[in-house]
Structures are given as C-alpha cells and as structure tokens.
Amino acid sequence: MKICIFGAGAIGGMIGSLLKRNGIEVTLIARGNHYAEIKKNGLVFKSKEYDLDICQRFDVHQDITNIGKFDLVINGLKAHSANQTAEHVSQLLHKNSIIIPTLNGIPWWFFYKFEGKYKNYKIQSVDPDQLQWKHFNPSRVIGSVVYPAAIIKKPGTIVHIEGKRLILGEPDSYKSDRVEKLSKLFFSSGIKAPVSKNIRSDIWLKLIGNSSFNPLSIITKTTLKDICENEETRNIVFNMMTEANKIAQNLNIPIKLDIEKRIEGAKQVGDHKTSTLQDFEEKKPLELNALIKSLVEIGKLTNTKIPTINTIFQLSKYIAVKNNCYVE
C-alpha cells in the first residue's frame, strides 16, 4: 500500500515514523525548515512510551507535482488549511484512494450517510465553499479520532508526549474490508486503531472536551488544571459540555458521558496548555471554526439552545481576531 501523509507535522510525523518503522512505504509532504531538515538528515522520532529514539529517511516533498497517486492519503492539516488545499491534495488520489482526515473538531464529511433529515448537510463553518466535499468525495473518507499528543520539538524532530490510540470508522459505521485492513496495518505498526461502532459518537465525545477547554483557554490564558480548579471556569465548562450533549441528543447521536468525571480527568492532566492556547501563543491560526463555530452552526440547525457555547465562541473569536490568528 502506497501511503502519503499530507502535513507531516507532529501527529502526521508520528504516524509516518511508526508506519515506516514497520516497513511500510510512506511519502511525507512537509514545508519550510521542517521539510528541509527531513530532506537533509531524516525525521527524528522520540518517544518514552514507545521506547524509541530513531531517525529515518523518507521520500519527502514540498511540491506534489508529478509525485504520483496513493492508495491512502492521511490528511494531517488543520481544518482551515485542509479546506484551502483540497484541490491540491486531490491530485494525489486515484479512483480507489482512501482519505483519513486527522483534524480536531467536526469534520467536513460529518453528515455524509447520516440517518435522518440532516443527511449530506454541508457544514459551512468547516467547508464554506464545499471544496473538500467537491474535490475529495466523502465516499473516500474513513473517519478518525486522534488521541496521541506530540510536538515538533525543532525542525525535523517529533517528540511523542503520550497516547497510542487512533480510532477509525466508516461514516455509516459499517465494518468494511478497507477499514478492517487499515486497522490491522496501524495495530501492526504500534498504533492502537480500533474500528468504531459509531464514529460520530467518538468524534463528538472528544469534541465535547475540545470545544469547551480549548476556546476557554485562550480567554483565560490558563492550563487545564487551572480551568478545572477555578469554580467559575469549571461551571462554564460544565455548561458548555451539557449544551454540546443536548445537540448530540437532538441529532440522535448516542453519547456516554459523565461530565463531572470528564472534567476531573482533564484536571488530572495537570498544568497542560491546550493545543489552541499553544497555537495562540505562537501566533498560529486557530482551529476555532472546527472546534466551536461548527457547534454554533449545528446548534442553530437543530434548534438547540446553547447560550454558553455561543458566548464563548464570540469571546474567543474576538480575541483571535484581535491577535490576527482567526481564519474565516
């Protein structure tokens, strides 16, 4: 199987390193100093959890012109970049190519094959011009929920922080041959990739945390532990999670959620800055559209009252715009 990772950042680089170590042919698409370092010296992957400190040579490119077609494209770009590069990435696909988007938040294909009146609804906040729907075709998609944490320590070096779990699932929850095959491939490479019985439920379960903690973290400029220990911010998180859960109920998406346990779990992570706060401090574009604007949109779609989510979205957007890191 020919695999391309488009966006070999922290998570893409981690997945690529583990697949390559397992003898699988992997092509990386990277940019800037990260690309230059990988091209010159290879990609370093360090992980205490995997007990690895390795450097591997890759076929790596900045320009995808004439690099061929791939059986699997793992799109490691964040939501705003994925939308902007959809036509570009489509050049890597042949008739039967599979796409696995690994972005946080609500994916553009979320309502593909959805049961009910919202079937094939196109989410404006994550795919405003339907470029991904048009250029990728949702029938190619296998959904994912990514739990590992990793960082680019410096150009050409990925450091794995924690986690090995990456859930896979067909949009219609069917256990297809292709998703089973990919699950086995990932497991054999050290990535725990179970096949979901309901990928939308798994996406929503992670989203409930990210849509609450991440936007709030750029408003408060504090860590998960701080947010959870302060009574006022803890109550805000509780209300946001409750509202997000109500949207899921109105969509008939089953969610097994104990909100207090979820907040306590985040507290135990300790003095950890959310990825959104880290991006904010580095003046990078933020994933607010996929993480929370999408919830605002779907809340309106389902006539769900979500006053806390609406308020936190507006406040976080205001701060992001003021600091030039909001992407429409």
pLDDT tens-digit readout, 55-106 = 999 999 999 988 999 999 999 988 878 888 898 899 999 999 999 999 899 9
Residue that is last in its domain, among 163, 197, 231? 197
CB-based contact 123:110 (threshold 8 Å): yes
What is the CATH classification number for the domain harbouring 147? 3.40.50.720
Residues 278 and 270: their CA atoms lie apart, in Å, by 15
- Look up the pTM and report it: 0.94
Residue 107 clears pLDDT 90, i.e. is over it = yes
Residues 188 and 197: their CA atoms lie apart, in Å, by 21
The pLDDT, as a whole number, for residue 7 is 94
Give yes or no: residues 177 and 251 share one domain.
no
What is the CATH classification number for the domain harbouring 275? 1.10.1040.10
Give yes or no: residues 167 and 259 share one domain.
no
Strand (E) or helix (H) holding 212: helix 199-220
C-alpha atoms less than 13 angstroms from C-alpha of 91 in its C-beta half-sphere: 11
Strand (E) or helix (H) holding 81: helix 79-84
Q: Write the pLDDT tens digit of every residue in 307-320.
A: 999 999 999 999 99
Give yes or no: residues 93 and 219 share one domain.
no
Closest residue by Cα to residue 246 from 233, 236, 237, 255: 255
Q: Has residue 327 been placed in a domain? A: no
Q: Active-site positions?
A: 206
Residues 43 and 55: their CA atoms lie apart, in Å, by 5
Q: What domain count does the chain have?
A: 2
Q: Has residue 328 been placed in a domain? A: no
Residue 271 clears pLDDT 90, i.e. is over it = no
pLDDT confidence bin for 173, thresholds 50/70/90: confident
Domain with 69 in it: 3-197
CB-based contact 203:167 (threshold 8 Å): no
Tally DSSP H helices, then E strands, for the chain.
14, 11
Residues listed for the chain: 328
| Mean pLDDT calculated for residue range 151-166 | 95
Give yes or no: residues 20 and 50 share one domain.
yes
Q: Write the pLDDT tens digit of every residue in 219-253.
A: 999 999 999 999 999 999 999 999 999 999 999 99
Q: Has residue 230 been placed in a domain? A: yes
